[in-house]
Amino acid sequence: MEPAAAQTSDEVVLSVRDLQTWFDTPAGTVRAVDGLSFDIRARRTLGIVGESGSGKSVTSLSVMRLLDPPGRIAGGEILFRGQDLATLSEAEMCRLRGQALCLVFQDPMTALNPVYRVGRQVSEAILAHTDISARAARKRVIELFRMVGIPDPERRVDEFPHNLSGGMRQRVTIAMAMANRPDLLILDEPTTALDVTIQAQILDLVKGLTDTTVLLITHDIGVVQEMCDEVIVMYGGRVMEHGPVRAVTGAPRHPYTAGLLASIPSAAQRGQRLNAIAGSVPSPLAMPPGCPFAPRCPRAMPVCETRPAAVEVAPGHRVACWLEEGAQA
Amino acid sequence: MTGEAMPKPEQAKDALMQVRDLRVWYGGKGSLFGKPDWVRAVDGVSLDIRQGETLGLVGESGCGKSSLGRALIRLEKPHSGSILFGGEDLATVPVARLRALRRDMQMVFQDPMSSLDPRMTIRRTIAEGLVIAGIDRDERNARVEDLIEIVGLRREHLDRYPHEFSGGQRQRIGIARALALRPKLVVADEPVSALDVSVQSQVLNLMKDLQIEFGLTYLFIAHDLGVVEYISDRVGVMYLGRMVELADAGDLYARPMMPYTQALLSAIPGGEAATGRRRIILKGDVPSPRNPPSGCPFRTRCWRAEPRCAAEVPHLQEVAPRHWAACHFPGQD
């Protein structure tokens, strides 16, 4: 097995620059991701949080190059270990996927093939990228199952997916993703289909993977607070706010982030009305030209009809809002 | 229940609905000579729903919370037990009478897309219950036009179809339909879990406003512990078909007495930082409701379990004022 490249503590593993992912539809072009930039350093966990249609899942599919037509990367760079994934050939991408770059989906039942035993599916991932015997691969699978906390792994490798609970299935897909010690693990809503006590088990497992660089995509700010060092808040395909989790969730600067946090019901608000954000997400075909949040923003101004530039309000904390000084693009 | 002491449920004076030892079992065919193979979705639940309150019901998938909610308005036929509502037992009432009683009990479903007929206009959807109730056309139209505005939509929306609306708007339509017959009790099963956070808060606000305006009583079923804490006056926790804890919302979240509730509340992501509560990570999965453990259903995953927990089913007892827990060793660690 080719060992993963040694990662020094602040080496940038993935650098996304001005990513544009568009979907050409008969009704017009949808800019699902519109100008996304970020770096993930080795062994860190970056969260992307957003509601439906924010572009967070399209981001993970873009990095993995798993977009189905009419989706396409229309611009920008996805630099991974010095290569631009946006322009890599499909054959080269195939070598990276499942080895250096792994994606874990929300629903483990659809990620696993129902007619094969789970052990075989995980060993397939190992055998595709390394030159070891089937017997050695099986041993490695049992080791992996033990690492992800599957009890009685020697027996479990021969089970079919439908014999396992949702939490166990998600452990299998994480074992599969970790099989080749990836440089970057992308988790797209990894616990959304799971119950809260099982979610706690899986998050605990991911926290234990301290040597791994993780991009975590979720709609749940609680999960971000629990898991991430840094967070990007997306809305309508754009980055609204990006910074250290503590700063963004503790003292949000963007009205959208603030509204999102205030919408989460808590005991403190019992008996009071929630600070709901008015309206709903605009149609992706009719995104406002400026700030996508402007039509729902309580602090919108005429200038919001043009696009604000991201302003660095504190080291590593950027906000795209006209309320910040220096937002002129 | 054989020979065991009946649990002594609380007796609320202002109860709108009194549920006693309710069982909802599914299946029961089994093999030719074997014992019937029942799935015990709800297994001996007793509770009172008080006039005007919001009773929250939480628990993980398969705990029986939805089956209980559906049984209370007789969308499921109970296996045994009683559901007293206005002096009548819904568990045994004849179907013709049930139809009349159903006007007082309505349901809001989780997925507003699959609970609205895609080929029916919103007007017909909301009016359907009124037609069945025999209300004449003019009155019907007036009520439907009223209802659509009450839930925050406009009259011109009435002649559109479900696909023309966003998820939050569809849930508003589902609520309007539930309110059409002016029910007393609304069972809301995961009414906001399909919605984004920013829209979820709008629907929660609407439900609160309507409760005050129409004096509604809610049974609010959800897996999101934060939402339930916010909206509920009292909260019941279910595990494997049983009610394992029931208390005022603030009290339950601040001082859970039953180990399962403690683990459940500690598992809320991001909660550790906010509440300083130590995370309890449970081992293993929920046992099958086809073959539940003897005694306490939670004992197989409980760190406080002792031999007594396997031998004897714990019943809900008042362990603190207005705080009921089904545990042989209740209390905080």
pLDDT of res. B333: 66
**Tally of CB atoms within 10 A around B157:** 18
Q: In this complex, do A52 and B196 lie within 8 Å of one another by their Cβ atoms? A: yes
pTM of the model: 0.88
What pLDDT sits at residue B117?
A: 93
Interface touch A196/B268, C-beta < 8 Å: yes
**DSSP three-state, residue A75:** strand
Question: Which amino acid would we find at residue B322?
Answer: R
pLDDT at position B275 is 62
Q: Is B270 on the interface with A (CB under 8 A)?
A: yes
Residue with tokens 């004096």: B215
- Chain B partners of A273 at a C-beta cutoff of 8 Å? 205, 208
- Cβ within 8 Å, pair B230-A167: no
pLDDT for A144 equals 93
pLDDT at B32 (0 to 100): 66
Domain parsing of chain A, residue ranges: 12-100+182-319, 111-181
Say if the Cβ atoms of A267 and B230 lie within 8 Å: yes
DSSP string, A251-289: S--SHHHHHHHHHS--GGGTTS---PPPS-PPPGGG--S
Residue B62: per-residue pLDDT: 84
- CATH-assigned architecture of domain A12-100+182-319: 3-Layer(aba) Sandwich (3.40)
The DSSP-derived string for A167-225 is HHHHHHHHHHHHTT--SEEEEESTTTTS-HHHHHHHHHHHHT-TTS-EEEEES-HHHHH
Residue with tokens 């990228």: A129
How, if at all, do strands A12-25 and A71-80 pair? antiparallel
A244 cis-preceded (ω within 30 degrees of 0): no
Q: Say yes or no: B211 contacts chain A, CB-CB below 8 A.
A: no
Residues of B whose CB is below 8 A from A168: 285
Instruction: Report helix, strand or coil for A104.
Output: strand
Tens digits of residue pLDDT in B259-314? 999 999 999 887 665 566 788 888 877 888 888 899 999 999 999 999 999 999 99
- Smallest CA–CA distance, residue A86 to chain B, in Å, is 31
Distance from the A283 Cα atom to the nearest Cα atom in chain B, whole angstroms: 10
Among chain B residues, CA nearest to A203: B269
- In a mutational test of the A interface, the residue from B157, B198, B223 whose CB has the highest number of chain A CBs within 10 Å is B198
Nearest Cβ partner for A274 among B168, B201, B271? B201
Tell whether B223 is within 8 A of chain A (Cβ): yes
Q: State the pLDDT at residue B84.
A: 95
DSSP string, B139-159: HHHHHHHHHHHHTT--GGGGG
User: What confidence tens digit (pLDDT) does each residue in B139-168 have?
Assistant: 999 999 999 999 999 999 999 999 988 888
State the pLDDT at residue A151. Answer: 86
Cβ-contact B93, B101 below 8 angstroms: yes
Q: Which residue has the tokens 């299946």?
A: B27
Report the relative pairing of strands A184-188 and A214-218 from DSSP bridges: parallel
pLDDT of residue A4: 47
Q: Are A41 and A13 in contact (CB under 8 A)?
A: yes
Beta pairing partners, A84: A79
B274/chain A closest Cα distance in angstroms: 10
pLDDT string in tens for chain A (329-residue length): 344 444 455 799 999 999 999 999 998 999 999 999 999 999 999 999 999 889 999 999 999 999 999 999 999 999 998 899 999 999 999 999 989 999 998 888 888 999 999 999 999 999 999 999 999 999 999 999 998 888 889 999 999 999 888 889 999 999 999 999 999 999 999 998 888 888 898 999 999 988 899 999 999 999 999 999 999 999 999 999 999 999 999 999 999 999 999 988 877 777 788 888 888 888 888 889 899 999 999 999 999 999 999 999 999 999 999 999 877 75
Chain B: closest CA distance from residue A114 (Å): 21
Given A151, A196, A220, which is nearest B60 (Cβ)?
A196
What pLDDT shows up at residue B1? 39
Verify whether the Cβ–Cβ distance A275 to B285 is below 8 Å: no
Q: Which CATH superfamily is domain B15-232 in?
A: P-loop containing nucleotide triphosphate hydrolases (3.40.50.300)
What is the DSSP track for B162-185?
GGGS-HHHHHHHHHHHHHTT--SE
ipTM of the complex, rounded to two decimals: 0.85
Quote the strand ranges of B162-316, DSSP E.
185-189, 217-221, 234-239, 242-248
Q: Would you call A197 and B200 a contact, using CB atoms and an 8 Å cutoff? A: no
Tokens representing A185?
Answer: 């693990």
Residue A5, pLDDT score:
47
B200 interface with A at CB cutoff 8 Å: yes
Intervals of chain B under pLDDT 50: 1-7
Q: Give the separation between CA B111 and CA A114, rounded to whole angstroms.
A: 27
Q: What is the DSSP letter of A105?
A: -
The token pair that represents A7 in the structure block: 């990662």
Residues in chain B with CB shorter than 8 Å from the CB of A167 are 285
What residue ranges do the domains of chain B occupy?
A: 15-232
d(CA A200, CA B230): 22
Neighbours of B112 (CB within 10 A): 25
